[in-house]
């Protein structure tokens, strides 16, 4: 894989017995804001990752104890504990995982984690790529995609996930010819997304708690696609309804029935995601500002934008800009 910045968590590898080097890498890679470490003799930190920009497989070893507070990451990370114990807590859920346990990191909000002589296997899925892919599955996350619980919805679903992961790893990731094919990588990613939204409870609409799909009507799918494509434009309910081939009232009723939200709420969420993406690549030394990004996405009130952004992404827009 090509070289990438050290804080891109999907494309780096390291094996070190230097705690200072390890902890600096952990801070940058996992966006850690506070860390408390316990000694280990001998000490070792190893992290290897392979994949592409949408999905990757990782292996992590850390000897000793570590407690960390971390900020949101732009990817979901489904983790299996191979050795040791790992704790994860947020405002939404909490888990104390031992050998054999499987859980998923959410992408929103601040999280606290506890590492105790761990060896973890991980699958990482880029959140924005997953959000784009679920449209093709006749699903939607109109208020933004994230997980509601760290645990799989059932052991049967966990086994299904593991089967999908095993197939992609053995037949695609470990096969150089397969990894060289964009078509095969795309099919592998789609299979992981389908297994992911079936295995874990998420904000996706169109799935029951048992993983049964309920396809959205074509009118709603057209409306959501139009919102995603034109979120940066001056649009409202009338334009969205026209694209969906509905009346404005019919559009409102369809969104409430099938998505339990409103078209304007879905539009604001899409614009918030767009502002987040722009802030991630903005450079304050080049004159980019939070206010400028907010205005470009239609957020005129800076205070309301900051509050909405922090609620969705777990940190202020200024922190994202300056990261």
Give the domain range for residue 117. Answer: 14-125
User: Of the candidates 228, 268, 265, which has an alpha carbon nearest to the alpha carbon of residue 244?
Assistant: 228
Whether pLDDT at 209 is above 70: no
The backbone region for 260, taken as left when phi is positive above 0, alpha when psi lies in -120 to 50, beta otherwise, is: left
Range picked from 2-16, 73-87, 226-240, 295-309 for highest mean pLDDT: 73-87
Do the domain assignments include residue 246? yes
Whether pLDDT at 66 is above 70: yes
Domain total for the chain?
3
pTM across the whole model: 0.68
Q: What is the average per-residue pLDDT within 113-133?
A: 93
Residue 108: predicted pLDDT:
83
Alpha carbons 142 and 265: distance in angstroms, whole number: 8
| Sign of the torsion formed by the C-alpha atoms of 205, 81, 163 and 175 | positive
Q: What is the pLDDT of residues 180-208, one digit of tens each?
A: 898 899 889 988 998 998 889 888 876 44
Asked if residue 118 and residue 74 are part of one domain, the reply reads: yes
Q: What is the average per-residue pLDDT within 27-56?
A: 91
Asked if residue 307 and residue 224 are part of one domain, the reply reads: yes
Residue 141, phi then psi, degrees to nearest 5? -135, 75
Q: What is the pLDDT of residues 140-184, one digit of tens each?
A: 787 788 888 899 988 888 888 999 999 999 989 988 888 889 889
- pLDDT tier, 212 (very low <50, low <70, confident <90, very high otherwise): very low
Asked if residue 27 and residue 91 are part of one domain, the reply reads: yes
258: domain CATH number is 1.10.10.60
Burial letters for 153-175: b for 16+ Cβ neighbours within 10 Å, e otherwise? beeebbebbbebbeebbeebbee
Asked if residue 135 and residue 168 are part of one domain, the reply reads: yes
Residue 314: predicted pLDDT:
81
Residue 22: predicted pLDDT:
93
């Amino acid at each position: 894989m090509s070289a990438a910045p050290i804080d891109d968590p999907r494309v780096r590898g390291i094996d070190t017995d230097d705690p200072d080097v390890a902890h600096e890498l952990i801070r940058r890679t996992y966006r850690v804001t506070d860390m408390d470490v316990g000694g280990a003799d001998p000490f070792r930190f190893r992290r290897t990752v392979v994949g592409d920009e949408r999905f990757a497989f990782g292996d992590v070893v850390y000897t000793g104890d570590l407690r960390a507070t971390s900020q949101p990451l732009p990817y979901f990370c489904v983790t299996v504990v191979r050795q040791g114990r790992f704790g994860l807590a947020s405002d939404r859920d909490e888990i104390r995982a031992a050998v054999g346990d499987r859980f998923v990191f959410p992408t929103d909000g601040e999280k606290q984690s506890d590492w105790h002589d761990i060896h973890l296997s991980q699958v990482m899925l880029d959140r924005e790529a997953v959000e784009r892919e679920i449209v093709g599955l006749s699903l939607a996350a109109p208020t933004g995609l994230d997980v509601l619980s760290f645990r799989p919805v059932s052991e049967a679903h966990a086994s299904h996930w593991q089967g999908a992961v095993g197939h992609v790893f053995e037949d695609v990731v470990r096969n150089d010819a397969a990894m060289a094919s964009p078509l095969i990588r795309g099919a592998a990613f789609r299979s992981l997304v389908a297994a992911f939204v079936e295995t874990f409870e998420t904000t996706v609409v169109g799935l029951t708690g048992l993983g049964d799909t309920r396809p959205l009507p074509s009118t709603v799918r057209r409306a959501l696609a139009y919102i995603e494509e034109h979120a940066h434009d001056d649009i409202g309910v009338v334009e969205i309804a026209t694209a969906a081939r509905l009346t404005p009232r019919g559009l409102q009723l369809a969104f409430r029935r099938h998505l339990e939200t409103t078209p304007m709420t879905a539009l604001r969420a899409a614009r918030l995601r767009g502002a987040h993406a722009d802030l991630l690549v903005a450079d304050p030394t080049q004159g980019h500002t939070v206010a400028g990004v907010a205005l470009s996405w239609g957020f005129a009130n800076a205070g309301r934008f900051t509050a909405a952004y922090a609620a969705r992404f777990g940190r202020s827009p200024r922190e994202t800009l300056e990261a």
